[in-house]
Structure 1
Amino acid sequence: MIRKVKTVRSRDSKKILRELKPYLSIWIERTFKALTLPQQYAIPLIKKGKNVLITAPTGSGKTLAAFCAIIDELFSLAEGRKLEDKVYCIYISPLRALDNDIRRNLLVPLTEIPKIAKDEFNINLQEIRVGIRTGDTLPSEKQKQLQKPPHILITTPETIAILLATRKFKEKLKDIRWIIVDELHELVSSKRGVHLSLSLERLEYFVGKRIQRIGMGATIEPLEEAAKFLVGIENEKPRECYIIDARFVKPIDIKVLIPIKDLVYSSAEEINKRLYETLDELISKHRTTLVFTNTRSGAERVHFHLKQIFPSKYLDEITGVHHSSISRDIRFEVEEKLKEGKLKCVISSTSLELGIDIGYIDLVAQIGSPKSVSRLMQRIGRAGHSLKEVSKGRVICLDRDDLVECLVMVKKCYEYWLDKFTMPKNCLDVLAQHLLGMAIEKKWNVKEAFEVVRRAYPFSTLKFETFVRVLEYLAGKYHTLEDYKVYGKIWFDEKDMMFGRRGKYARVIYSLNIGTIPDEVKIKVRSLDGKFIGFIE
């Protein structure tokens, strides 16, 4: 059953903190003084073992709300030296950059709280380990994690699916108690999310007991559909989930600007010139401005023209560009400078849209229409990175169509209206990947495997006949596909209704072809002195 929790008034923070370990409560009070509204409602529910979906704006403390009760429980085990060498909690996000951010932010309390416990309560706590497992993780680090697994594992949707097919590390997941899925709004409307939903059900089947699920997101609508996606289906009904809806608790200040009075008859050169003058005026009046464009090339173009028109103002030391085609080292450098308040202006396409902790931003400028109210709210929400601060945004329109579109969007923002996402259902390409992964695990009864798949909400309406046809395809029944070098990956016994892996390379084929992110042809770009800059598609 899906239940909405009304977050109309504040609760007593001190009363909630009294339910936690005293040294954890002291750290929270010294660091944040009081709990935010989402935290006040989420922490007690998570502590009771409930599935929870927290939806609130950037800077509202969603991450602490999700982890607080979990860390409290792990500290209880650490007090009695009962923390074992296994994974207790998995945190999943669609962005690898966010994974590194979360690890850094978690290490702060996990380092400072044991000091408070020792100095003020004479309690020696076992170390709570945090580790990252993604496509970037080095083989040596993976080997270390096998010997000393992190108690909190930070990962991506694709890596979870790969871990389910590993021989040894998978056993470290046998006693998982919590799963946190962050940036849910990025997953629910894509095949990446559909892929993850099946991984969660496979993991719960492997564990053999209920895993508590916690979801986080900012601009999600409809919430009930997102909650069903998070918790899945059992006995043809959604599992229980509590929705903490605090999406609109942060004040906003959004205006639409045009760089020139006459957008119809002015030349492109005039409009462009005034665009950069308008941007310069906005940036000059604020401490740190985040400029969003709709494309990576657009971000590079804006950065280039600002430096060209105002060479003495926009030096490399105080401006930066951030998007997915730029090398990881340069992106990391920009993020660190932002957190330290060293940058006057950063131009991005979509990579700074999600909840990476980027420190203090007092203005977001959006060039052109972002094409969605939810996306506009998400981007503007990056300004004023705390719950009490105003999210200030300026949308700059360059033609009539954009102007009309953006005016409607801003009006909808003030009406607290969000676009509804559409979730892909019964994606057979995703199903085929997971059936191969399941075949690698063990020999399956077809009906049992079908029941596991149908527990994932995007597959809750899948027909058994369709399921069997996908098994037939994977078993190589359609011989004509061999002309296209598509061969059987599993064996399928139609008489006994059983299936399993075929061939010694099944695990390798599965691991190398997992996921739904399309392949891209990329060319590496280096500077004259050999420094890696990024990619061009």
Structure 2
Amino acid sequence: YCFRNLERRDYDSVLDYLSGKYVELEQRNVYAKIWVDRERGLMGRRGKLARVLYSTNIGTIPDESYIKVKIGRQNIGKIDEGFLERLRKGDIFVLGGKTYRFLYAKGQTAQVAPSAGPPTVPSWFSEQLPLSFDLAMEIGRFRRLIEERLRNNEEREEILSFIHEYLYVDKNSANSIYEYMKEQYLYAKIPTDKKILVEFYRGFGRKRYIVFHTLFGRRVNDALSRAIAYVISRRERRDVMISLSDNGFYITAGERKIQALRALEDLKGMDLRGVLAKAIDNTEVLARRFRHCATRSLMILRFYKEHRKSVGMQQIGSKILLNFVKRLPGEFSILKEARREVLEDLMDIQHAEEIMDLIRRGGIKIETISTDVPSPFSLNLISQGYMDIMRMEDRMEFIIRMHQAILDRINKNAA
């Protein structure tokens, strides 16, 4: 049964909300939907409209629409609501070939300002599925096996044969994988399922990048990157920018130095779930997810007496409710569910906690390198924002030039 693991206190908390125990919510036009007699173990609908409200508003699929992007009153364009969830104040993104800095969102409108800086958020990949944690760990294991063979100086043909048999790929694919792995091995180190590589790179406008090669999938990396960034921002009193992918993430504060490794060390002694709950507290992602939960739980009515409430008005209403329920005593059930959705559905807090536990116990080692040219594994992650504002022919030229720079460094080190 889908609710077999639901704790009794959570069940009672939902009943408390539905039966109107939180009388303060009536100030926000949220009224009781049912009555509960705990002594006799009975419950039922309350009010003549309860059945109508339920049948016209119930549903698990939230209303979504595009977000208008404006500079003041001037319309710039539209972005997907899922893309807005990823944005934090100060993030720079590309829209219509130009870069804009995100300021804030209200309802279904995002206010931005023109920016001359490079994008910090790559293009939205819509419904592209993240790499699963289990598959990511298997890829990490494959990397480890390749690294062992390179370290043991096995012949090229032996490694190609292993790749062909292990992955069931043709000769051309096996050769591409071999060259990619070998260049990373010769230039830096290969991150694996038992080794996280932290790369300190300075370039692209003198910005300092701290790249965490964490091949655990985008959902786990989302959790880890937000937690580390939150620890940094709290300790150093500054905002940091994050960009992530399935293969890892980077943190940067422009030209300023940040103590990311120290933040990771501090995080070992913290409750990751608690840190992330604080990190998402004032974010767009929590506000949007709370709206979804509020409409499902009938806190916000999409339809009332033949009138339909727009998504924008739903969002404005949910933000007011969100700020209100945060002040309620205890942990309000709908807010708890919104946080759970962010941490467990959008992110992967469970496997992120497993990774942190492995780091604490030494099951995953942390190694560092410093580079003046991005390593082959980090090049795509670091350059993905810049690539969005390049023409296609410029992108190819850029990739070729950067690849040649890596080969030059390898040859220089070998000489």
Q: Same fold (TM over 0.5)?
A: no
TM-score normalised over the length of structure 2: 0.25
> Which has the larger helix fraction?
2
TM-score, normalisation: structure 1: 0.20
